[in-house]
Amino acid sequence: MERDLELYHNLRLVREFEGRLSKMHHQGRIPGGVYSGLGQEALVVGSVYGLAREDFIFPLHRDLGAFLVKGVDPRLLMAQILGKKTGLSGGRDSFLHAGSLADGVFGATSMLASSLPVACGVALKFKMNGEPNVVLAFFGEGASSRGDVHEAMNFAGVQRLPVVFICENNFYAFSTPQPMEMAVEDVADRAAGYGFKGHVCNGNDLFAVMHEVGAAVELARRGGGPTLIECKTYRYSGHSEHDTATYRTKDELLEWESRDPIYMYEFYLQKKGHDMAALSAETGERVKATVDEAVKFAEDSPDPEGPEAMDGLYATQV
């Protein structure tokens, strides 16, 4: 599949997967919360696409699409979300804390961005071993005010670590708008205080994200140290499915929906000569079939039995 079509498939797969979760949550079929990334597809696809399998990503609760693009099996991801034994954690936890070390995905925590110091630890390991791998560490603009974010960036700057910090700025930390979170307009401005570059890009523009993150990844691979990239984007849903987001206006939502990342990319494909009616229908059928299979696999999978929850608590002797 040529790159343009593979990217389109990824965008549509992420949206189909996220949209299905929203429906399933409202049907009472998912235990725990759902934190939708609808509207932020270009950010996760554009940043993760093209990474090597050995590279690591540290996604957030809203970065389900990053799992799919990094290579995590949609069936196992859905099983994780449904708390099944076949899920990534064997049914021990929800998606919120899911990870897959085999695919280079480190699980997040409920304290958003607390994984950034750990991301620096992985990057330090790559540097010490002379491995040409990079780490992508995601966080939100709200989390950028946390101390561990500053400590991670300071350490990465001092050590010149191969890590790319990606700020998903959707302008709301739960319900708190950005002007009440910080006194600066751009989170990227803070990078200068740690001795590396910060860049701002349109997080709804797939190519803008790919350009900025791709350049930062290559810089890190060459030993050039870290970069902070702030992607301006917007989540269509509330903080979670149970958040009605009454703190924002309808006009604001409509304004951002008019900049939808998938519509923007479809316009690009149309300009390149693709029959978008046919391509959209064919891609829609394919991603729907993938998600249908994932749901069936997950719902047919057994629940964890209970005692196995104690497995893996302690390292075993080799």
Distance CA 267, CA 18 (A): 22
Mean pLDDT per 10-residue run, the chain (318 residues)?
93 97 92 88 97 96 93 96 93 83 90 92 98 97 92 98 97 90 93 97 98 98 98 91 88 93 97 97 98 98 86 74
Q: What is the model's pLDDT at position 235?
A: 92
Q: What is the model's pLDDT at position 307?
A: 82
CATH number, span 3-303: 3.40.50.970
Q: What is the model's pLDDT at position 240?
A: 84
Give residue 141's identity as a one-letter amino acid code.
Answer: E
Structure tokens at 203: 């997080």
Would you put residue 39 in left (φ > 0), alpha (ψ -120 to 50) or beta?
left
Structure tokens at 199: 């860049």
Residue 139, phi then psi, degrees to nearest 5: -160, 165
Q: What is the model's pLDDT at position 92?
A: 84
Asked if residue 43 lies in contact with residue 89, where contact means CB atoms within 8 angstroms, the answer is no
